[in-house]
């Protein structure tokens, strides 16, 4: 009989907990990140046998390993069917290279894979609670819409999204304000930092304790595990035998990459990951020198979802390689740098190189990439050029957003206007509804108490 997987903290100073507690807490009490205590392992034959299965079935097989005795197979399978109702294309890109497009979800970003699954799991665990959970989130654009979409319609959960009135695009705003139901949106007369300050103050306010406020932050283990499924999916589709594969991952907070590392530990024979960052190169430098220096403030690049100077998942990576990093980025115990260097090929790609890659990939391989996917594609080409990888090696480069989300860059570089994916079409014409408030805590608090007490 297989035992349920338990979760421990990277800071090693909190009790191990089950899936439910790890999900609802987000962060461990010692401020560390939850990690599976044991990584379940598949035989290569089991992975290859998934070849003909639809994505939702592959996700079910992978996630079931972490949900044993906690969520029934029937329920998990139903959730997977419901949240993964879109395509996961593997586009041929010359020789044996492919681009995996993770941009067909409701907000056209790879974050949909994780956010939607986490939304359903948290919804399941809190469905019978007497008082509903209220999830507060501040957004500068994209995270808010992914979270709003993920929890939209989930029973016993209410979402409040704060956004800076003049700092989000019309399209970004409409992705949040046209949902309705359990999603409330508030335009704040202020900047993103004002929104975040209001949310933080509410979380810390003892007078709001009864409201059951919660955050759906990016370090939640519930956002990590679903990100290992597409690595298993891609591998099972693309090979007949147990040959090695390379994945190139455009990285900011390193959650996507950690999903890949988990998939490798589960049995996918990944020979190397390309860790591709933009000019925020603190991790490539760390891998090279063994010395870690966060970048403060982070550098502004066109692949803006990767403008991260201190990745929130780095402590997990260090942990996986036998080291320990605390919540502020101090290395308590050095990881095995030799193994890290063998497993990862890391590159930092400038904006100039990113633009050039968008043009070249279009001309040479017929690929339409946006800035994040172009960083990954550039990194993969660097690995081929290094001579470490034969030109006929099996390789997958990950595309994390739909090119139509970055029309100004694509127009400027390629002279074409990418067609909106179905999920974003027609949004202009939908009815919007949102509140407007000053960046004033007393007013915000009154609102929360009157609406959510
Ligand atoms: C969040 C994001 C990334 C970076 O993913 P991490 O898991 O933070 O490394 C890359 N591309 C896009 C489009 C994103 O939204």
Ligand 1 touching residue 372 (CB < 6 A): yes
Instruction: Count the neighbouring beta carbons within 10 Å of the beta carbon of residue 46.
Output: 14
Q: Are 227 and 256 in contact (CB under 8 A)?
A: yes
Residue 221 confidence (pLDDT) = 93
The CA-based angle 114-117-123, given to 5 degrees, is: 135
Ligand 1 atom having least distance to the Cα of 111: 15
What token pair was written down for 273? 């990951």
Q: Can you give the residue ranges of every domain in the chain? A: 87-108+222-414
Q: What is the dihedral of CA 329, 333, 335, 337, to 10 degrees?
A: 90
Residue 287 to residue 340: CA distance in whole angstroms: 7
User: 175 CA to middle of ligand 1, Å?
Assistant: 18
User: 324 CA to middle of ligand 1, Å?
Assistant: 24
Ligand 1 touching residue 239 (CB < 6 A): no
Q: Are 217 and 26 in contact (CB under 8 A)?
A: yes
Average pLDDT, the chain: 94
Sites in the chain below the pLDDT cut of 50: none
Residue 212 confidence (pLDDT) = 87
Instruction: Count the neighbouring beta carbons within 10 Å of the beta carbon of residue 317.
Output: 23
Residue 46 confidence (pLDDT) = 97
pLDDT tens, 204-252? 899 998 888 888 777 889 999 999 999 999 999 999 899 999 999 999 9
Residue 422 confidence (pLDDT) = 86
Residue 327 to residue 432: CA distance in whole angstroms: 39
Instruction: Write out the E strands in 190-307.
Output: 213-214, 245-250, 270-277
CATH class of residue range 87-108+222-414: alpha beta
Give, using CA atoms, the residue closest to atom 1 of ligand 1: 305
Residue 1 confidence (pLDDT) = 62
């Amino acid at each position: 009989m297989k035992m349920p997987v338990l979760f421990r903290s990277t800071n090693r100073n909190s009790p191990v907990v089950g899936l439910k507690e790890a999900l609802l807490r987000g962060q461990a009490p010692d401020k560390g990140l939850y990690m599976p205590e044991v990584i379940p392992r598949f035989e290569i034959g089991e992975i290859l046998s998934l070849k003909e299965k639809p994505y939702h079935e592959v996700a079910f097989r992978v996630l079931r390993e972490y949900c044993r005795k906690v969520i029934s197979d029937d329920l998990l399978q139903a959730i997977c069917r419901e949240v993964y109702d879109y395509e996961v294309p593997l586009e041929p890109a010359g020789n044996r290279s492919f681009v995996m497009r993770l941009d067909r979800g409701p907000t056209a970003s790879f974050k949909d894979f994780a956010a939607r699954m986490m939304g359903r799991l948290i919804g399941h665990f809190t469905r019978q609670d007497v008082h509903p959970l209220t999830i507060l989130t501040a957004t500068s654009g994209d995270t808010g819409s992914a979270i709003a979409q993920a929890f939209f319609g989930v029973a016993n959960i209410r979402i409040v999204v704060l956004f800076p009135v003049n700092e989000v695009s019309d399209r970004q705003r409409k992705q949040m304000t046209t949902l309705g139901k359990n999603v409330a949106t508030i335009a704040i007369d202020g900047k993103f930092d004002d929104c975040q300050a209001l949310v933080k103050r509410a979380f810390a306010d003892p007078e709001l304790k009864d409201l059951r406020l919660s955050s759906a932050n990016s370090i939640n283990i519930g956002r990590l595990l679903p990100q290992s499924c597409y690595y298993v999916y891609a591998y099972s589709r693309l090979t007949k035998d147990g040959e090695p594969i390379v994945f190139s991952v455009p990285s900011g907070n390193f959650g996507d990459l950690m999903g890949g590392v988990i998939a490798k530990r589960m049995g996918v024979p990944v020979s190397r990951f390309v860790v591709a960052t933009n000019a925020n190169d603190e991790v490539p430098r760390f891998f090279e020198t063994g010395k870690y220096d966060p970048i403060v403030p982070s550098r502004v690049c066109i692949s803006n979802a990767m403008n991260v100077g201190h990745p929130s998942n780095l402590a997990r990576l260090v942990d996986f390689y036998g080291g320990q990093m605390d919540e502020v980025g101090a290395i308590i115990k050095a990881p095995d740098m030799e193994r890290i260097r063998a497993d990862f090929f890391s590159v930092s790609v400038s904006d100039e190189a990113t633009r050039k890659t968008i043009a070249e990939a279009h001309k040479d391989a017929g690929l339409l990439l946006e800035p994040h996917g172009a960083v990954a594609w550039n990194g993969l080409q660097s690995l081929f050029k290094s001579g470490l990888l034969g030109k006929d090696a099996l390789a997958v480069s990950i595309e994390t957003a739909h090119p139509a989300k970055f029309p100004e860059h694509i127009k400027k570089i390629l002279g074409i206007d990418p067609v909106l994916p179905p999920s974003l079409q027609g949004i202009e014409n939908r009815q919007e509804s949102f509140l407007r408030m000053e960046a004033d805590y007393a007013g915000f608090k009154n609102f929360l108490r009157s609406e959510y007490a």
